[in-house]
Structure 1
Amino acid sequence: MERILTIIEAKKQQFAQLDLFYFMQDRSLKPEHRLSFAPCMTHFVMSFSDLNKYVLRQENSNNKIQEIVNKYTYEDDEHWPWFLTDIDSLGFNNSLLFSDMLRFIWGEETKITRQIAYQVAGYCLKADAPIKIAMIQSLEAMADVFFSISSKITSELQATTKKEYFYFGNLHLGVESEHSMNAKKAKEQLNSIDLTEIQYREALEAVEQIFNIFSKWTYELLAYAHNHPIELALEEKLNTTLVMCR
C-alpha cells in the first residue's frame, strides 16, 4: 500500500495545479464569484453520504482494514447539511420549480458531477477493503487541496457578510484534517498493508480513474463559474422573486 499512497501524493500535487484552483485564488475577483460553481457540486455532495453508508461501509466485518474504512464512513457521512447551509449563505438558494431543479442536477452542465458518484460506487461496491482505502485516500487528498483554498475564500467573505460558512469554510477543513486515518498510528497501519499483485493493479486503476474524473470535474466547475457569475445568479434570483410576486 505504501507505493499506492506515494502515487496518491504525487497525483495530489498535480491536481493542485489545475486551472480551477488558480481561479479560486484570484483575488482580483469577488470572493463570492470564486465560489459561484457551488450549485454545480450538488449531486456529488448529496450522494456522498449514501456512498459512505451503502458502498464503502460493510457492517459486522471482522476484517481489520474494513473496520478502518467503516470508522471513516461514520466520520464523513454527515457533511451535506453544511453544504445546504452554505448554499443559502452564498445566495444560491433560489426558488425553482422542482422540475427545473431536476433538469439542472441531471442536465448537461453537471454531467461530470454525476459521474463521480457512479465511478466511486463502481470501483468500491464489491471491492476488497484495501481498494476502498486507496479510493478514500484519493478523495481525501483532493479534498485537502479544495478546502484549503475554499476556506480562505470564506474567510474573506466573513469579513464583510459576518456569516459563518460550514462546508466551504474552516469547520470542514478542520474536520477533514482530524480524520482517524490521519493519525500517526493509522498512517503506519495503512503503509504496512500488503497488497496482492491483483489488488495493487486494482488500487492503481481506481486511483488513476478517480483523479482523472475529478480533474475533469474541475473544468466543469470552472465552466459553470464563468457561465454563471454571481451577478447573473443574483439577477436570476430577482427575476424569480418578481415572477412569484405577480
Structure 2
Amino acid sequence: MKQILGYIDRKQTDYENHAFFTDLLDNAALSGNERLAWAPSVVPFIMGYSDLNKYVFRDETSDRRGDPLQKMLNTHTYEEDFHWQWMLDDLSRLGADTELSLSDSARVLWSPDMSVSRRLCLKLAALTATLPVSGIYAMVEAIEAVSVTIFKHCQGITLEDGQECEFFGTKHYLAEAGHLMKTDDDSKRNLPVLDDSERAAARAAVDDVFSLFDEWSESLMDYARRYSTDAAKAWAQIIAASQALPHEVEDVVIPRF
C-alpha cells in the first residue's frame, strides 16, 4: 500500500499543474469572488460526497470490522461528516443565496452546467463496486489528495469584505490536512502489503480518480467563465434554458435503435 501512496503523491503533483490552479485559483489579477466563481457548481458533488461517505465508503458490518484499512476509512467518513455545512454557509458569503422556488432550485442543480458534478459521485460509487477494501482505500486517499490540493490553493483568497470563506479557504485546508488519513500515526506506518492483483487494482482506481477530477476541474473553470460572480443572472439563464426543454414525449425526437 505504501507504493500506492507514493504513486498518489506523484499524481497529485501532476494534478496541481491543471489550469484550474494556474489560471484561476492562483490568478492574483482576479478578485477573490472571481477566483471562486465556480463554487456553486460543486454543490451536487459535495452533497453527494457526504452520502458516499455515509453509504458507500463506510462499512461497519461485522465481516469488515477487523480490517485495518476499513477502520481507517470509517474514521475518515466521520471526519468528513460536517464539511458540507461550511460550503452552504460560504454560498451565502459568495452571493449565491438568491431566493428560488424548490422547482427552480431543482432546475439549477440538475442543469447541464452541473452535470459533471452530479456524474462524479455516480462514477466514484460505480468504481467501488468491484474493488477490494484496499482499492477503495486507495480511491479515498486519491480523493483526499485532490481535496488537499484544491483547498491549499484556496488559502488566502479573500472576498469583498476582506474575509476568507470557511469551506473554500484555510479552515477547510487545515481540516483536510489534519485528517487521520493524512497523519503519520501507527495505522499509517503499518499499512498492509498488497499482492500483485490488489496493487494493480488500487493503481487503476487511483488513475480513474485523477482522470475524473481532471474533467471535473475543467468543468469548474467552464462554469466560472460562463457565469462569473452574478448568481442571480446565472440562475435566470439556467432556469430559462430548463423551462425551454420539451415537456411531452411528442415533442422529443427519439433515436431508433
Shorter chain as denominator, the TM-score bin is: 0.7 to 0.9
> Structure 1: which 5+ runs fail to align?
240-246
TM-score (norm: length of structure 1): 0.88
Q: Specify the alignment match of 1:178 in structure 2.
A: 178
Q: Specify the alignment match of 1:5 in structure 2.
A: 5
Decide whether aligned partners of structure 1 residues 64 and 236 sit closer, same or farther in structure 2, where only a CA change above 3 A counts. Answer: closer
Residues 56 and 125 of structure 2 are in contact (CA less than 8 Å); yes or no, is this contact kept in structure 1?
A: yes
TM-score (norm: length of structure 2): 0.84
CA drift of 1:112 comes to 1.3
Decide whether aligned partners of structure 1 residues 187 and 102 sit closer, same or farther in structure 2, where only a CA change above 3 A counts. Answer: same
Q: Please say if 1:87 is aligned against 2:91.
A: yes
Q: Specify the alignment match of 2:71 in structure 1.
A: 67
Residues 89 and 163 of structure 1 are in contact (CA less than 8 Å); yes or no, is this contact kept in structure 2?
A: no
Q: Specify the alignment match of 1:149 in structure 2.
A: 153
What are the residue-to-residue correspondences of 1:223-238 with 2, within 5 Å? 223-230=222-229, 232-233=230-231
CA drift of 1:229 comes to 0.9
Separation of aligned partners in 2, 1:221 and 1:187: 33
Q: Specify the alignment match of 2:106 in structure 1.
A: 102
Q: Specify the alignment match of 1:208 in structure 2.
A: 207
Q: Specify the alignment match of 1:244 in structure 2.
A: none
Decide whether aligned partners of structure 1 residues 162 and 237 sit closer, same or farther in structure 2, where only a CA change above 3 A counts. Answer: farther
Percent of aligned pairs sharing the same letter: 30
Decide whether aligned partners of structure 1 residues 54 and 238 sit closer, same or farther in structure 2, where only a CA change above 3 A counts. Answer: closer
Q: Specify the alignment match of 1:199 in structure 2.
A: 198
CA drift of 1:149 comes to 0.9
> Structure 2: which 5+ runs fail to align?
238-257
CA drift of 1:173 comes to 0.9
CA drift of 1:233 comes to 2.8
Separation of aligned partners in 1, 2:234 and 2:78: 38
Residues 25 and 153 of structure 2 are in contact (CA less than 8 Å); yes or no, is this contact kept in structure 1?
A: yes
CA root-mean-square deviation: 2.0
Residues 119 and 210 of structure 1 are in contact (CA less than 8 Å); yes or no, is this contact kept in structure 2?
A: no
Q: Specify the alignment match of 1:53 in structure 2.
A: 54
Q: Secondary structure at the match of 1:184?
A: coil
Residues 37 and 225 of structure 1 are in contact (CA less than 8 Å); yes or no, is this contact kept in structure 2?
A: yes
CA drift of 1:237 comes to 8.0
Separation of aligned partners in 1, 2:4 and 2:138: 7
Q: Specify the alignment match of 2:21 in structure 1.
A: 21
Q: Deviations over 1:109-156 (max 9, x none)?
A: 122111211122112256322112101110111111100111221xx3
Q: Deviations over 1:192-241 (max 9, x none)?
A: x21122222221121111100100111100010000011x33656899xx
What are the residue-to-residue correspondences of 1:123-134 with 2, within 5 Å? 123-125=127-129, 127-134=131-138
Q: Which has the higher helix share?
A: 1
Q: Specify the alignment match of 1:44 in structure 2.
A: 45
Q: Specify the alignment match of 1:114 in structure 2.
A: 118
Q: Secondary structure at the match of 1:113?
A: helix
Residues 128 and 136 of structure 2 are in contact (CA less than 8 Å); yes or no, is this contact kept in structure 1?
A: yes
114-123 or 134-143: bigger deviation: 114-123
